Amino acid sequence: MIECQYVQHVSLAVTDLKRARRFYKKVLGLKEIERPKFHFPGAWFAAGAQQLHLIVNPRAQTLRDISTIDSMESHFAIRIANYDAAIRHLSSLGVPFVAKPDSVTGWKQIYVCDPDCNVIELNSE
């Protein structure tokens, strides 16, 4: 049997590293961390105790229609400290989002897409 300890990182395919870096730093406020010198471009970010790895793949098959953010698409979630502050921040930057303050999960949810339309859930109690 495999004894899982925790999720160490999530990897996402992106097509434009500069644009993706800007999103994860400016919009989500993640801190970029050192990355090994792979033979392909990418970036790593600290996300609490876990990491987010961006991998440049021009052939990536991500959602290309940002007009609808679908919470049923593959996504990862980040726990945030303040739901209302996140709504204000995203609104001030003009970032489209779907707010679910009364989610059946029991926590408040916000869904956003990065520039390659990877879906990200932001949630708080």
CA distance 90 to 74: 21
**Six token digits for residue 9:** 């990182």
Contact 116, 62 (CB under 8 A): yes
pLDDT at 66: 60
Average pLDDT score over residue span 50-78: 81
pLDDT at 102: 94
Q: What is the pLDDT of residues 4-21, one digit of tens each?
A: 888 899 999 999 999 999
Give me the domains of the chain, ranges plus CATH numbers: 9-124 (3.10.180.10)
pLDDT at 6: 80
pLDDT at 85: 96
**Six token digits for residue 45:** 């970010």
pLDDT tier at 62 (50, 70, 90 boundaries)?
Answer: low
Q: How many CA atoms lie within 13 A of 24 on its CB side?
A: 28
Average pLDDT score over residue span 43-54: 95
CA distance 67 to 91: 16
Q: Is the pTM of this model over 0.85?
A: yes
CA distance 115 to 82: 23
**Closest among 111, 108, 34, 35 to 68, alpha carbons compared:** 111
3-class secondary-structure state, position 62: coil
Q: Which residues pair with 14 in a beta bridge?
A: 56
Q: What is the pLDDT of residues 29-48, one digit of tens each?
A: 999 999 999 999 999 999 99
